[in-house]
């Protein structure tokens, strides 16, 4: 079963690397559907894979000079602080509630991206001071949600970056860089509680490293901004619907 899960994770890593996301929003449901415990295995393993997918893709994007390192610093710092706090709160929130919150976040992000997919690319960034305040405050909130739900936060980082004026590809590439820090920070919070399964982690780590490199290359050379937005939206909405239906069966 672990091998089958790893092959699915590899395919998902290709897709999410193209979108500038770590992929935990799909990794976690996959683990759940294959019978792994949502809180103690799916969430921490998803966070680790999320960080590795983002790291692998970000290395490619950094080499291609597609990442705004300076602009990402406020989000990195505040999300790094918020993520372990969210991870700690996981023990206090019922699994059923976590799944509902997870689905709501995906519907919000996916719906917004679908609505804006045909809008022209922004031509100018928001003024620097406003941008720093917005990204810094949003980073803490996103980091907390990321740690709580076991995701890296890319599904929220990307819309925020686009809202302040980043073109789609730059937003996706910069998001992958930011997600590294919130993912590993949140994962550390779960490891402190002893939440991990070694064999699953090892095989899926190999899968995400290979898949994310393929996805990053495809995004840089083949993908159009509109396609990225639409893929992002469809994947999120589809998984959210699947999770919600699963709660009633």
pLDDT averages per 10-residue partition of the chain, 249 residues: 89 80 77 83 82 85 90 89 83 77 77 74 77 88 79 77 85 87 78 72 90 83 71 77 72
Q: Which range of residues forms the domain containing residue 205? A: 2-247
Question: Is residue 77 a contact partner of residue 135, using CB atoms and an 8 Å limit?
Answer: no
Task: State the Cα–Cα distance between residues 203 and 187, nearest whole angstrom.
Answer: 17
pLDDT at 195 (0 to 100): 62
CB proximity list for 173: less than 8 A, separation 6 or greater: 20, 57, 58, 61, 64, 66, 67
23 torsion bin: left (phi>0), alpha (psi -120 to 50), beta (else) = left
What DSSP string describes 193-229?
TT---HHHHHHHHHHHHHHHHHHHHHHHHT--HHHHH
CB proximity list for 113: less than 8 A, separation 6 or greater: 158, 159, 229, 230, 232, 233, 236
pLDDT at 192 (0 to 100): 66
pLDDT at 78 (0 to 100): 92
Question: Is residue 246 a contact partner of residue 165, using CB atoms and an 8 Å limit?
Answer: no
Predicted TM-score (pTM) of this structure: 0.73
Closest Cα partner for 78 from 2, 23, 10, 145?
Answer: 145
Q: Into how many domains does the chain fold?
A: 1
């Amino acid at each position: 079963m672990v091998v089958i899960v790893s092959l699915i994770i590899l395919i998902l890593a290709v897709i999410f690397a193209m979108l500038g996301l770590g992929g935990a929003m799909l990794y976690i449901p996959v683990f759940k559907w294959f019978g792994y415990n949502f809180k103690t295995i799916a969430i921490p393993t998803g966070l680790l894979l999320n960080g590795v997918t983002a790291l692998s893709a970000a290395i490619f994007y950094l080499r291609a000079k597609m990442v705004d390192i300076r602009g990402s610093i406020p989000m990195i710092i505040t999300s790094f602080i918020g993520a372990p706090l969210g991870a700690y709160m996981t023990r206090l929130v019922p699994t059923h509630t976590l799944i509902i919150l997870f689905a709501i976040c995906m519907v919000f992000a996916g719906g917004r991206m679908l609505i804006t997919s045909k809008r022209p690319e922004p031509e100018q960034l928001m003024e620097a001071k406003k941008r720093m305040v917005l990204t810094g405050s949003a980073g803490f909130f996103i980091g907390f949600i990321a740690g709580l739900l076991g995701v890296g936060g890319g599904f929220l980082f990307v819309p925020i970056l686009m809202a302040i004026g980043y073109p789609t590809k730059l937003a996706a590439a910069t998001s992958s860089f930011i997600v590294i820090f919130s993912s590993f920070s949140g994962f550390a919070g779960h490891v402190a509680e002893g939440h991990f399964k070694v064999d699953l982690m090892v095989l899926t780590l190999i899968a995400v490293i290979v898949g994310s490199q393929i996805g990053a290359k495809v995004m840089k050379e083949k993908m159009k901004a509109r396609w990225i937005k639409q893929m992002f939206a469809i994947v999120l909405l589809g998984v959210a619907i699947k999770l919600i239906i699963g709660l009633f069966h």
